[in-house]
């Protein structure tokens, strides 16, 4: 589903050159639940950005669902992100001036052939039901707890039925109870067929995934299969 080949990412300023990722080769199969761990500054977020097509590598190729996207233009990348990838962030990134339902609806607004308003509403409600928040649809993010906000963010990530969900420290801002709830939802999504890549600092959370990749100083230093339950490919 995601294939990274010889990926390098270098950040350059006029005087400094920083190698953020060094020769990363990673293949995430469809239906896999992969976690990425490593110390701060090791390149986890950079790797997520590359997999999420939010950034371009300095070298190497990125393949999403069999398509090499390295040469894609902004419009094509935006479409691919919209259709294939759902994002979950540590700080939720909800729009405070929109209701929960409106927040969840946003990815559908950017979909090619934009579904009609009524069907957008239906899809958004379904996504909220999946994360158990159908009773908070007209609330605003400011009226929700951290765990609820993250569930809204998950609903937003899955509303367009993407094949891949990228979660950047989704439990990082939550207590252990809330974190476990979120983890359960992600596991359920994976069971339902989504490919999930999750960056985490929490070893216990990582142990709940199928596979654990460890990064250190921009290089992959470990890749271990934890469970092998739901890999489609």
Q: Which of 110, 203, 227, 232 binds other proteins (CB under 8 A)?
A: 110
The H-or-E segment that residue 166 falls in is strand 164-168
Q: Which of 35, 45, 171, 209 binds other proteins (CB under 8 A)?
A: 45
Smallest distance, other proteins to C-beta of residue 137, A: 14
* 50-89: contacts with other proteins (CB under 8 A): 52, 54-55, 74-75, 78-79, 81-83, 86-87, 89
Report residue 36: phi and psi, to 5°: -120, 130
Structure tokens at 93: 């990134």
Nearer to other proteins, 166 or 206 (CB): 166
Nearer to other proteins, 83 or 161 (CB): 83
Bridge-partner residues for 213, per DSSP? 36, 223
> Alpha helices of the chain — where are they, by DSSP H?
44-51, 74-84, 100-109, 117-130, 146-158, 176-191, 203-206
Smallest distance, other proteins to C-beta of residue 94, A: 8
Kindly write out the interface string for residues 89-108 of this chain, putting x where it contacts other proteins by CB under 8 A and - elsewhere: x-x-x-x-xx---x--xxx-
Nearer to other proteins, 108 or 183 (CB): 108
Smallest distance, other proteins to C-beta of residue 84, A: 10
Query: Residue 231, interface with other proteins (CB under 8 A)?
Result: no
Structure tokens at 201: 């600092």
CB 138 within 8 A of CB 99: yes
CB 206 within 8 A of CB 212: yes
Residues in Cβ contact with 202 at an 8 Å cutoff, skipping those fewer than 6 apart: 171, 172, 179
Which residues in this chain contact other proteins in the complex, by CB under 8 A?
A: 45, 49, 52, 54-55, 74-75, 78-79, 81-83, 86-87, 89, 91, 93, 95, 97-98, 102, 105-107, 109-111, 114, 117, 156
């Amino acid at each position: 589903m995601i294939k990274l080949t010889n990926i390098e990412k270098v950040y350059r300023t006029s005087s400094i050159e920083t190698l953020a990722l060094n020769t990363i080769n990673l293949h995430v199969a469809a239906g896999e639940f992969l976690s990425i761990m490593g110390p701060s500054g090791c390149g986890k977020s950079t790797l997520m950005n590359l997999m999420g097509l939010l950034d371009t590598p300095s070298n190497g190729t990125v393949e999403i669902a069999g398509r090499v996207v390295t040469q894609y233009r902004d419009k094509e990348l935006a479409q691919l992100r919209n259709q294939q990838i759902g994002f979950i962030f540590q700080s939720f990134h909800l729009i405070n001036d929109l209701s929960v339902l409106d927040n969840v609806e946003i990815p559908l607004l950017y979909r090619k052939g934009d579904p009609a308003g009524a069907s957008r509403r239906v899809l958004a409600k379904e996504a909220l039901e999946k994360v158990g928040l159908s009773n908070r649809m007209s609330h605003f993010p400011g009226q929700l707890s951290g765990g609820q906000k993250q569930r809204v963010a998950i609903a937003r990530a899955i509303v367009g039925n993407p094949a891949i969900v990228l979660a950047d420290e989704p439990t990082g801002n939550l207590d252990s109870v809330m974190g476990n709830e979120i983890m359960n939802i992600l596991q359920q999504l994976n069971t339902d067929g989504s490919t999930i890549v999750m960056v985490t600092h929490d070893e216990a959370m990582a142990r709940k995934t199928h596979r654990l990749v460890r990064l250190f100083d921009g290089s992959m230093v470990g890749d271990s299969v934890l469970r092998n339950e739901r890999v489609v490919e």
